[in-house]
Amino acid sequence: MLIMLHNIFILFLLTSISAEEENVLLTEVFTIAISPSTFNWTYEGETHQYVYQASLLDAPDLPSWIKYVFSEKHRKGFLYGVPPNRNKPIIPLQIVALNKKNYDTKVAYINIRISEKLNPAKFEVLLKIDNVNVDDIFDVERMDNLRDIFRKQLWKDSENDLYITYLESAIELGARKPLDPEQEEGIVLRLGSQSPFSLNLKELEEEVKPLWKVPSCPRNFKRTSVERYFRDAGFALDWCAFRLIDPNNSAMHHSGMKENGFLRDKWETITKNTIPTRNYSTDITWSLVLPIVLLIILTLLLSFILCFYHEGISKEEDISGSTQTSDYDKNVLENSKTNQHMKLSPDTTLVSRSHTSSPTSTINRGVHCRPSPPPYVRPRFKPAECGADDVTRDEKSWYC
């Protein structure tokens, strides 16, 4: 229902707004020039005085198959592309122009009418040209020089129906931007015709086929037998990208396979119900289980290491303790044997050694080194016979 209302609204705008009509053909590159005269302005000599912005009517951007480029060389903007096979025959566009000098703004409307092309191309030649920008192909004279190389030299049967079936900047297809800002970016294009490939094109393909393993060749990397035709016309080709495309891969084949429907080029919002919900239970489980498992493994590993290390220390202590005990027992046993020997045979040095300053006594001593007391002898003396002089004469004679 909403789609029908939208289509009715667009048809109402197309009928109520005056717009320029541009007829384009399927499988053929079209170009639409945007200049100050489109908005009834006059060019005043400044290149960047006017700024253009093109978009689909009632949409923020252009369809994917329409590209816009501004050419400082031509002082114009260009819309170009290849229309797909659509059921919608009219594509409404709006172009907003700004005069940067006085900030005047104008809007222009263009209706692109898509028509079928009679006798579309079945055979195509893919070329990559390094020294050309996209806006250079919009120069009619230079484009005719490129077509003449094929129509007069390499593909003479395509003289009546040779046209461009594809055009794109090499930068948009993934090529590197040149280091020199003034150097050309390069383009990739296809030339198509209903006529089969000539023998010259097939021989040229066999000549450059060994280069296909290289994605891109630098300039002057390879010079082919037909190099002079392109050099004289001012084109430097990348022969690593040269291909002959058969009818199964031609522009008409791909155009018929594309889906129909005008609203495919419009951005459609999505509803909340169509947004998938993510289950975080698995993430939470992994975020909790994994650290715990790692912690348990590390704890067990550390426990085993400490246990084995403790057992090794215990074994070493037991061995050293038993060694010390045996040594101690040996020492005690030796000391006890020495003491017993001393009891049985006393030391002669102790017996013979004097404990006083008197001469060594010959009296036998006991085991405990204590001499036996002398036997008591009653003194024999005569008190009447002994006088005082005799007592003083010999004090020791009283016990003799």
pLDDT score, position 150? 94
pLDDT score, position 196? 93
Q: How far apart are CA 348 and CA 151, in angstroms?
A: 143
Contacts of 237 (CB under 8 A, 6+ apart): 127, 128, 129, 130, 227, 230
Per-residue HEC secondary structure of 219-280 comes to CCCCCCCCHHHHHHCCCCECHHHCEEECHHHCHHHHHHHCCCCHHHHCCCCCCHHHCCCCCC
| Total-model pTM | 0.59
Q: How far apart are CA 144 and CA 165, in angstroms?
A: 15
pLDDT score, position 93? 93
pLDDT score, position 87? 64
pLDDT score, position 292? 95
pLDDT score, position 369? 63
pLDDT score, position 352? 46
pLDDT score, position 322? 60
pLDDT score, position 156? 92
pLDDT score, position 301? 92
pLDDT score, position 175? 84
pLDDT score, position 4? 54
Give mean pLDDT in consecutive 10-residue pieces for the chain, a chain of 400 residues. 54 58 91 90 78 91 91 89 80 92 91 90 93 90 93 91 93 86 90 93 92 80 85 90 82 48 47 80 89 94 84 65 60 63 49 47 55 76 51 45
